[in-house]
């Protein structure tokens, strides 16, 4: 009898223990409808969403649920220790009234958009679900043109909202969502550490200028993978903006298994870079129907180093001068930034300065990359030593004319020297660079050759160019040299 009682008591204690453990692992749920949210696509739900987020964060953890339906919303802020789960069939839609957007996306610089969904010093944050975050971007545009929208004029503040701006966060996860229709930058990570962005579909209008996909700004230990991105401006961009310079360098970044389309540059480093960008691996990606494929566009005093691009397919074409880039599949440059009188010109240089300088770009490797383009690979800087130790291995470059837009041009914008440079189209156009190696690579020309198609390589003021196993002939046999000096 005593043994049976002991067994029963032991079983009871085990059941209680399991129940307590199970209860402990069930998250607190905060449904935005319980806080007054209305899914009619008309009511502004910012207050209700904020109440649910605040309650969840105050409870030291839980899940904020956005159920199926369309929830119009003005600005709100994310908090620490929460997961926001936007369920399949649910959409958070930006309020089209530009007057509700009051906080600058760049602190004291009001000329480059505002914050819609923000987060300041947030930690242990997850955004997830099969639903959608919609920036309602076209509502903030002017008239539609052939390949872009007119930007509405403003005097001081550009009211266009950025979709998601996270400043000074850590342990952030953004996964499995659709994020679309941004009027300005879409996902902006500033001074963040330990971030994973995975499995998202990011669809911006290809006509909306400044509609970057993911901007990694002064951030560290960021992993982006398995995403599909369409953006009028850069799809994925690494940078160090002057407005947030206290957060230090951008480093330890990986991008893998992504498919991208852009009217500017699909994968870009720069142009804003006031610190250092280093230890970057970008691999197993596909770039289609883009203006520029891969671009290192250094225009400030910061440096770029230790970057590896591998196993990438690039398809690039010409678009109008509205967009930076001239169909260069690969682009590595460092030029001093141009002075500017436009809306943000005064914020580009160090305080008290009216001009800047260009930082070093070094130790950049490209491996196993297949390019189909209307233009060649461009490498250049202000002086031969500024861009150095650039290696190309297993690069297959196919050049063919595919649009009616005139070529024979390379794009250095925004540069203090000539922005658009007229030059013949070569497989590799190299100027003022040093220690360049090209190995096991091939340049071929398609049947639709433009009259300005030229050589396999053109080089000007290049120090220590090493070639090993480079195949290819000039575009027009007997008229041009294989290597033009």
Model confidence pLDDT, tens digit, residues 301-331: 999 999 999 999 999 999 999 999 999 999 9
Q: Which domain holds residue 440?
A: 234-485
In a domain, 93, yes or no: no
Tally of domains in the chain: 1
Give the tens place of pLDDT for each residue, 92-151: 999 999 999 999 999 999 999 999 999 999 999 999 999 999 999 999 999 999 999 999
133: in domain: no
Task: Assess if residue 188 is contained within a domain.
Answer: no
Contact between residue 300 and residue 275 where contact means Cβ atoms under 8 Å apart: no
Residues of the chain above pLDDT 70, percent: 93
Give residue 341's pLDDT: 54
How far from the centroid of its chain's Cα atoms is residue 80's Cα? 24
Query: Per-residue pLDDT tens for 11-32?
Result: 444 444 444 444 445 679 999 9
Mention every residue, 6+ apart, whose C-beta is less than 8 A from residue 478: none
In this prediction, residue 412 carries a pLDDT of 94
326: in domain: yes
pLDDT score, position 354: 84
What's the mean pLDDT when you consider all of the chain?
Answer: 93
- CA pair distance 421, 410, nearest whole angstrom: 5
Instruction: Kindly state whether residue 454 falls inside one of the protein's structural domains.
Output: yes
CA dist., res. 226 & res. 39, Å (int):
31
Q: Is residue 421 part of a domain?
A: yes
- Kindly report the pTM of this predicted structure: 0.94
Whole-angstrom distance, CA of residue 335 vs CA of residue 316: 23
Determine, yes or no, domain membership for 227.
no
Q: What is the CATH number of the domain that holds 437?
A: 2.160.20.10
In angstroms, rounded to a whole number, what is the distance separating the alpha carbons of residues 149 and 393? 39
418 in any annotated domain? yes
């Amino acid at each position: 009898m005593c043994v049976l009682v002991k067994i029963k008591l032991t079983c009871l204690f085990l059941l209680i223990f399991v129940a307590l453990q199970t209860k402990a692992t069930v998250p607190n749920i905060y449904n935005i409808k319980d806080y007054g949210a209305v899914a009619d696509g008309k009511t502004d739900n910012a207050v209700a969403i904020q109440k649910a987020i605040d309650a969840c964060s105050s409870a030291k953890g839980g899940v904020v649920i956005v159920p199926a339906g369309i929830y119009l919303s003005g600005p709100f802020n994310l908090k620490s220790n929460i997961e926001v789960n936007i369920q399949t069939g649910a959409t958070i839609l930006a309020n089209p009234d530009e007057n509700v957007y009051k906080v600058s996306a760049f602190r004291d610089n009001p000329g480059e958009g505002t914050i819609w969904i923000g987060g300041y010093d947030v930690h242990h944050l997850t955004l997830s679900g099969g639903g959608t975050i919609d920036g309602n971007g076209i509502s903030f545009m002017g008239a539609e043109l052939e390949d872009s929208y007119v930007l509405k004029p403003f005097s001081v503040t550009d009211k266009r909202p950025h979709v998601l701006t996270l400043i000074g966060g850590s342990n952030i996860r953004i996964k499995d969502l659709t994020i679309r229709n941004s009027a300005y930058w879409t996902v902006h990570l500033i001074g963040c550490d330990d971030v994973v962005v995975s499995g998202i579909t990011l669809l911006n209008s290809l006509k909306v200028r400044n509609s970057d996909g993911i901007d990694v700004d002064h951030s560290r230990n960021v992993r982006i993978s398995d995403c599909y991105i369409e953006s009028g401006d850069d799809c994925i961009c690494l940078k160090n903006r002057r407005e947030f310079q206290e957060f230090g360098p951008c480093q330890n970044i990986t991008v893998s298994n992504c498919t991208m389309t852009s009217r500017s540059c699909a994968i870009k480093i720069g142009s804003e870079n006031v610190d250092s960008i280093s230890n970057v691996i970008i691999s197993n990606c596909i770039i289609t129907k883009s203006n520029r494929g891969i671009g290192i566009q250094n225009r400030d005093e910061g440096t770029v180093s230790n970057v590896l691009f591998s196993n990438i397919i690039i398809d690039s074409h010409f678009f109008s001068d509205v967009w930076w880039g001239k169909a260069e599949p690969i682009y590595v440059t460092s030029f001093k930034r141009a002075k500017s009188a436009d809306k943000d010109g005064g914020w580009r240089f160090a305080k008290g300065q009216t001009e800047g300088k260009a930082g070093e770009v070094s130790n950049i490797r490209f491996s196993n990359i297949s390019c189909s383009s209307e233009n060649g690979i461009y490498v250049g800087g202000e002086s031969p030593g500024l861009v150095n130790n650039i290696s190309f291995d297993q690069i297959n470059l196919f050049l063919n004319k595919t649009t009616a837009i005139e070529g024979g041009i390379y794009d250095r914008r925004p540069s203090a020297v000539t922005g658009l440079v007229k030059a013949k189209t070569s497989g590799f156009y190299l100027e003022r660079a040093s220690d360049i190696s090209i190995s096991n690579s091939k340049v071929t020309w398609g049947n639709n050759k433009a009259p300005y198609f030229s050589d396999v390589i053109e080089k000007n003021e290049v120090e220590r160019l090493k070639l090993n196993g480079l195949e290819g002939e000039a575009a027009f046999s007997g008229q041009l040299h294989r290597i033009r000096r």
